Chains A and B, each alone.
Chain A
Amino acid sequence: MKVVKIIIIVIIATVAFYLLNQLLEPKYMTDLVEGSMISQYYEEAKNHEVIFVGDCEVYANISPMVLYEKQGITSYVRGSSQQMIWQSYYLLKETLQYEKPKVIVFNVNAMRYDKPVSEAYNRLTIDKMKWSKEKYDMIQASMLEEETFLSYVFPILRYHDRFDKLTQEDIDYLFQRKKNTYQGFLINKEVKPLEDMPNVKKLAKYQFADIDYDYLDKIQALCEENGIKLLLMKAPSVYPHWYDEYDAQIEAYAEKNQINFINFLDKVEEIGIDYSQDTYDRGLYLNLTGATKLSNYMATYLKQNYDLTDCRQNPEINAIYQEKLAQYAKDIM
Chain B
Amino acid sequence: MDLVSGSMFAMMLVTAFLYYVVPPKAKPYTILAISIAFYASLGWQALLYIVFSTMTTYVAGILLEDKIKKRQMRAITLGIVIALNVLILVTIKNQIFGKDILVPMGISYYTFQVISYSVDIYRKKYTAQRNLAKYFLYTMYFPYLFIGPINRYDDIENTLYETNKKFSSRQAFYGLARILWGIFKKLVVANRIQIIMTTITQDTTTYQGAYALFAMLLYSAQLYCDFSGGIDIVIGFSRILQIHLKENFDVPYCSQNIQEFWRRWHISLSNWFRDYVYIPLGGSRAGKLRTNINVMIVFLLSGLWHGTGYVLWGFFHGVFLLLGKVVKTPWKVVNQILTFLIVSVLWSFFIWQDTWQACQMIGSIFTQFNYQALLQNIGNLGLSFANYVVLLLATIAVFVYDGHKHKMNERIKRTGTEMKLIGVISMIFVICIFGVYGIGFDASAFIYNKF
A residues within 8 Å of B by Cβ?
2, 5-6, 9-10, 13, 16-17, 20, 24, 119, 146-148, 150-151, 154, 156-158, 160-161, 163-164
Q: Across the interface, which residues of A come within 8 angstroms of B421, CB to CB?
A: 6, 9-10
Q: Across the interface, which residues of B come within 8 angstroms of A6, CB to CB?
A: 417-418, 421
Q: Across the interface, which residues of A come within 8 angstroms of B437, CB to CB?
A: 157
17 A-B interface contacts by CB (under 8 A): A5-B418, A6-B418, A10-B421, A13-B425, A20-B432, A119-B439, A146-B439, A148-B6, A151-B438, A158-B438, A160-B432, A160-B433, A160-B435, A163-B433, A163-B434, A164-B384, A164-B386
- A151-B438, A160-B438 given; A9·B433 CB < 8 A: no
- Smallest Cβ-Cβ distance to B435: which chain A residue: A160
A interface: dominant SS? helix
CA distance A172 to B438 in the complex (A): 27
Q: Across the interface, which residues of A come within 8 angstroms of B384, CB to CB?
A: 164
Give the distance to chain B from A5, nearest Cβ to Cβ, in Å. Answer: 5
Q: Across the interface, which residues of A come within 8 angstroms of B435, CB to CB?
A: 160
Contacting residue for B433 out of A13, A20, A147, CB 8 A: A20
CA distance A86 to B427 in the complex (A): 38
Give the distance to chain B from A165, nearest Cβ to Cβ, in Å. Answer: 8
Taking a contact as CB atoms under 8 Å apart, the answer to whether B432 and A2 are in contact is: no
Taking a contact as CB atoms under 8 Å apart, the answer to whether B418 and A20 are in contact is: no
Whether a CB of chain A sits under 8 angstroms from the CB of B291 is no
Taking a contact as CB atoms under 8 Å apart, the answer to whether B422 and A9 are in contact is: yes
CA distance A151 to B435 in the complex (A): 14
CA distance A148 to B425 in the complex (A): 22
Give the distance to chain B from A123, nearest Cβ to Cβ, in Å. Answer: 9
Whether a CB of chain A sits under 8 angstroms from the CB of B284 is no
Give the distance to chain B from A159, nearest Cβ to Cβ, in Å. Answer: 9
- A5-B418, A13-B425, A148-B6 given; A157·B432 CB < 8 A: yes
Contacting residue for A2 out of B417, B434, B436, CB 8 A: B417
- Smallest Cβ-Cβ distance to A16: which chain B residue: B429
Whether a CB of chain A sits under 8 angstroms from the CB of B387 is yes
Q: Across the interface, which residues of A come within 8 angstroms of B438, CB to CB?
A: 148, 151, 157-158, 160-161
Taking a contact as CB atoms under 8 Å apart, the answer to whether B422 and A160 are in contact is: no
Give the distance to chain A from B16, nearest Cβ to Cβ, in Å. Answer: 20
Interface string of B43-66 (1 = CB under 8 A from A): 000000000000000000000000
Give the distance to chain B from A271, nearest Cβ to Cβ, in Å. Answer: 41
Given contacts A119-B439, A158-B438, 10 further A-B contacts (CB under 8 A): A6-B421, A9-B425, A148-B438, A150-B6, A151-B438, A154-B432, A156-B432, A157-B432, A158-B439, A160-B438
**Contact residues, B413-427 vs A (CB, 8 A):** 417-418, 421-422, 425
Give the distance to chain A from B188, nearest Cβ to Cβ, in Å. Answer: 11
Give the distance to chain A from B382, nearest Cβ to Cβ, in Å. Answer: 12
Contacting residue for B418 out of A9, A119, A160, CB 8 A: A9
CA distance A151 to B439 in the complex (A): 10
- Smallest Cβ-Cβ distance to A146: which chain B residue: B439
Q: Across the interface, which residues of B come within 8 angstroms of A150, CB to CB?
A: 6
Q: Across the interface, which residues of A come within 8 angstroms of B440, CB to CB?
A: 146
- Smallest Cβ-Cβ distance to B442: which chain A residue: A146
CA distance A105 to B75 in the complex (A): 82
Give the distance to chain B from A325, nearest Cβ to Cβ, in Å. Answer: 41
Give the distance to chain A from B85, nearest Cβ to Cβ, in Å. Answer: 36
CA distance A150 to B425 in the complex (A): 18
- Smallest Cβ-Cβ distance to B440: which chain A residue: A146
- A2-B417, A6-B417, A150-B6 given; A164·B387 CB < 8 A: yes
- Smallest Cβ-Cβ distance to A162: which chain B residue: B433
Q: Across the interface, which residues of A come within 8 angstroms of B417, CB to CB?
A: 2, 6
Q: Across the interface, which residues of B come within 8 angstroms of A119, CB to CB?
A: 439
- Smallest Cβ-Cβ distance to B383: which chain A residue: A164
Give the distance to chain B from A306, nearest Cβ to Cβ, in Å. Answer: 43
- Smallest Cβ-Cβ distance to A5: which chain B residue: B418
**Contact residues, B385-417 vs A (CB, 8 A):** 385-387, 417
Q: Across the interface, which residues of B come within 8 angstroms of A5, CB to CB?
A: 418
Give the distance to chain A from B157, nearest Cβ to Cβ, in Å. Answer: 37
Q: Across the interface, which residues of B come within 8 angstroms of A146, CB to CB?
A: 439-440
Give the distance to chain A from B194, nearest Cβ to Cβ, in Å. Answer: 14
Q: Which of A24, A154, A161 has the most CB of B within 10 A?
A: A161
Give the distance to chain B from A18, nearest Cβ to Cβ, in Å. Answer: 12
- A2-B417, A161-B438 given; A156·B433 CB < 8 A: yes
CA distance A240 to B7 in the complex (A): 40
Taking a contact as CB atoms under 8 Å apart, the answer to whether A20 and B386 are in contact is: no
- Smallest Cβ-Cβ distance to A149: which chain B residue: B6
Taking a contact as CB atoms under 8 Å apart, the answer to whether A24 and B422 are in contact is: no
Q: Across the interface, which residues of B come within 8 angstroms of A2, CB to CB?
A: 417-418
CA distance A160 to B386 in the complex (A): 13
CA distance A20 to B422 in the complex (A): 16
List the 7 shortest-distance A-B pairs measured between CB atoms, nearest first.
A164-B386, A13-B425, A5-B418, A164-B384, A160-B433, A156-B432, A9-B421
CA distance A6 to B425 in the complex (A): 12
Q: Across the interface, which residues of B come within 8 angstroms of A10, CB to CB?
A: 421
Q: Across the interface, which residues of B come within 8 angstroms of A157, CB to CB?
A: 432, 437-438
CA distance A43 to B432 in the complex (A): 31
CA distance A103 to B384 in the complex (A): 50
**Contact residues, B358-391 vs A (CB, 8 A):** 384-387
Give the distance to chain A from B172, nearest Cβ to Cβ, in Å. Answer: 15
Contacting residue for A163 out of B6, B386, B418, B425, CB 8 A: B386
